[in-house]
Amino acid sequence: MTLLIFSEPWPNATSPITIRFEAEVVPEPPIRAPSLGIHLGVSWQPPLIAANDYQLVNSSKQLGNQVQLGVLSNTATDYCVKTQWQNKPLTQLQTAIHYAGNALTELTVNWQWFVAPSVEQGFTLAWLVPNQHSTVMSVDWQVAPRLNTFQANINWCDGAALVNDITTAYRYGNVRLIQPSVAWGPHTASWICSTRYRPPTGKVTIRFREPWANSTNPLQLRFTASANYCYFDDGGGLVDANPSLPSLDFETPIEPQLRRYYLMQPTITCVRVSDDVPIVISNISISRSRGQWASSVNIDFSSRIDASRAENQLLKVGINGYEFFTLVEQNSVSKVFGNETYRGTGRSRSAELATPYVLPISYTNATSRSFAGLLTDMLQFTGWTIALNGIVDFNVPAGAFSVGNKSPIDAVQEAVAQLGCMLLSNDETKALTVVPRWPTVPWLMDGVIPDLTVHDAVITSYSESKEIDTECNVVWLRGEQQGISAKVKRAGTAGNIAADDISAQLIVDNQAARTAGTNALADTGNKLNINMSLPIMADLPPATPGMLIGIREGVDVFKGTCDSVTISASVSDTGDIDVEQTITVVRHVA
């Protein structure tokens, strides 16, 4: 016997010693029968048989017949096959097959007939498919007034693993003349059409207060059939599943939530409205004030191709989810060594009502018209609509207002400015709205809820400057040709400090004088001009000129009117997007 002991490691070297172990192979131990075997079992089981339920009915004269049949099969038969064979040494295969039938198969059939004056039929089908699939159909039909019963039961058992039970039942009675059906769940979207009469919107109402007596001719009223009116129901339950996004409502207060930090992902998109071709821009600025009827837009394009695609086209710009429409009216290029800048300037979509897109008009109201109707006449055939908001409509006598050689939007702006009002435009729906320059006068701001309230958490920059002016409490107004002369005095004051007199064509009614005088008095007094920079978020939309802005300082909120808004968005060379809005708020101070 040789003992080798390796006391030290042998690193990075090849050992010169080769060790070989050679000896007699130890034989495998014998396997004695029957120490190894294979047991194989095979069994069959028929699948589940469909269970059908039928209800059968028949009527004849009173007959009774009953048949009972009992069948007893042989006793259970066991069949066992065992096979043993040896394929190799010490290998055994055994197969066992067991099959057993039920000891007793019973079939019972019961038939009963009853005569009924009328027929009731019920049909129920239960269909069971193996592996957890089930289909059930039920039809209930009942018209019989009498209470009779017919029932037949058939029980059928064949084997322990397979059970088929058929039950047929028929019953008279409990007459149901009306069976209501209630469908539960949201309904699908569909078009709904109806000829139901809908009263038209208007101010003409016919009232019959006295009887029509002693008349030579009877009174004839002719009513034409209502047209088929269709509207789209977008489906859903009690809560609308697809609510339409409402427009910005001045009556709904908006205030962003106070958070420790704000995570924003600014986005800028621009497409051409005519064919949805994307336009890549690197910078955009949109500005508007209370004295403008359209926004001023400046755009920097990323390439010459984008600038050429956008020239004289209507673009839809998306900034953080808010859409703006602009007309690119003039392109320019600036080249510096190694750098080219393509820029476009234009106005918002309401510029479609100005030259050179439309021809100048001359207008005179030949008949007596309301103020809203007069404005609508000047926008005739342009595709735009106009409405009054916060202004009481009044009547303008025939020939009281005239304008010549001006575009439709300039003519409307002149008429609106005579009352101290301004224009707001919805470029998507092509709708104009006339609102006062001061929707809330300064002396009533303390008791009014602001349209938009901001706090120092969302104000990125703040500056203010004071403007000194005399605060007036009375103003004289007069029309030109068919107008009136009116004195508008601020309530609760002596009316001893007069503002400059106002003379305009549309001062033809007390409501017109009241609107123009109120806005003139609101322009006077000391004003604090506040400039603030704010982000644009989901709960902080872009401000609108004329909005009542609330600025929160601790627990106090001071209010002012939004005079101008500038929205800017830019993309840096590294792809960073910066979006902000700068608003100017005019606050009345003592």
Residue with the bigger pLDDT between 337 and 209: it is 337
pLDDT over 70, % of the chain: 64
Residue with the bigger pLDDT between 253 and 380: it is 380
Helix (H) or strand (E) holding 566: strand 556-571
CA-CA distance, 128 to 163, in Å (whole number)?
Answer: 12
Residue with the bigger pLDDT between 388 and 190: it is 388
SS3 276: coil
Q: How much is the pLDDT for 533?
A: 96
Closest by Cα among 439, 473, 470 to 560: 439
Q: How much is the pLDDT for 32?
A: 66
- Is residue 518 within 8 A of residue 495, CB to CB? The reply is no
Q: Is residue 262 part of a domain?
A: no
What are the tokens at 46? 């028929």
CA-CA distance, 112 to 513, in Å (whole number)?
Answer: 96
Own/partner pairs, 167-171, CB within 8 angstroms, 24+ separation: 167/53, 168/53, 168/54, 168/55, 168/56, 169/55, 169/122, 170/55, 170/56, 170/57, 170/120, 170/121, 170/122, 171/120, 171/122
Q: Is residue 231 part of a domain?
A: no
Q: Using the Cα atoms of residue 14, residue 15, residue 16 and residue 20 in order, give the sign of their dihedral.
A: negative
CA-CA distance, 266 to 254, in Å (whole number)?
Answer: 20
| CA–CA–CA angle 466, 472, 478 (5° rounding) | 130
Q: Is residue 40 part of a domain?
A: no
Last residue of a domain, one of 131, 149, 179: 179
> What single string gives the DSSP state of each residue in 475-486?
EEEE-SSS--EE
Q: What is the pLDDT of residues 258-300, one digit of tens each?
A: 888 888 889 999 999 999 999 999 999 999 999 899 999 999 9
Closest by Cα among 521, 424, 507 to 472: 521
Comparing 197-211, 352-366, 400-414, 540-554, which segment has the lowest mean pLDDT? 197-211
What lies within 8 Å, CB to CB, of 40 at 6+ separation is 93, 94, 95, 96
What is the arithmetic mean of pLDDT over 529-557?
Answer: 92
Comparing 119-128, 350-359, 417-426, 548-557, which segment has the lowest mean pLDDT? 119-128
Last residue of a domain, one of 151, 179, 207: 179
Q: Is residue 97 part of a domain?
A: no
What are the tokens at 306? 């984008």
Q: Is residue 542 part of a domain?
A: yes
Q: How much is the pLDDT for 207?
A: 73
Q: How much is the pLDDT for 202?
A: 67
Q: How much is the pLDDT for 111?
A: 45
Residue 588 has pLDDT above 80, yes or no: yes
What are the tokens at 220? 């004839």
Q: Using the Cα atoms of residue 439, residue 440, residue 442 and residue 443 in order, give the sign of their dihedral.
A: positive
Q: Is residue 505 part of a domain?
A: yes
- Is residue 357 within 8 A of residue 430, CB to CB? The reply is no
Q: How much is the pLDDT for 105?
A: 44
Residue 546 has pLDDT above 50, yes or no: yes
Last residue of a domain, one of 136, 157, 179: 179
Q: Is residue 220 part of a domain?
A: no
Residue with the bigger pLDDT between 389 and 206: it is 389
Residue 530 has pLDDT above 60, yes or no: yes
Residue 250 has pLDDT above 60, yes or no: no
Beta bridge partners of 401: none
Q: Is residue 504 part of a domain?
A: yes
Q: How much is the pLDDT for 277?
A: 94
Side-chain half-sphere exposure of 165, counting CA atoms within 13 A: 3
**Domain range enclosing 160:** 47-73+102-179
What is the arithmetic mean of pLDDT over 58-70?
Answer: 52
Q: How much is the pLDDT for 570?
A: 95
Comparing 71-75, 306-310, 387-391, 538-542, which segment has the lowest mean pLDDT? 71-75
Comparing 255-259, 544-548, 567-571, which segment has the lowest mean pLDDT? 255-259
Q: What is the pLDDT of residues 300-328, one digit of tens each?
A: 999 999 999 999 999 999 999 999 999 99
Q: Cis (ω within 30 of 0) for the bond into 266? A: no
Domain count, the chain: 2
* pLDDT mean across residues, the chain: 78
Residue with the bigger pLDDT between 209 and 395: it is 395
Q: What is the pLDDT of residues 98-156, one digit of tens each?
A: 454 454 444 444 544 444 455 445 545 445 545 544 444 554 555 544 444 444 455 55
Q: How much is the pLDDT for 227?
A: 76
Side-chain half-sphere exposure of 555, counting CA atoms within 13 A: 0
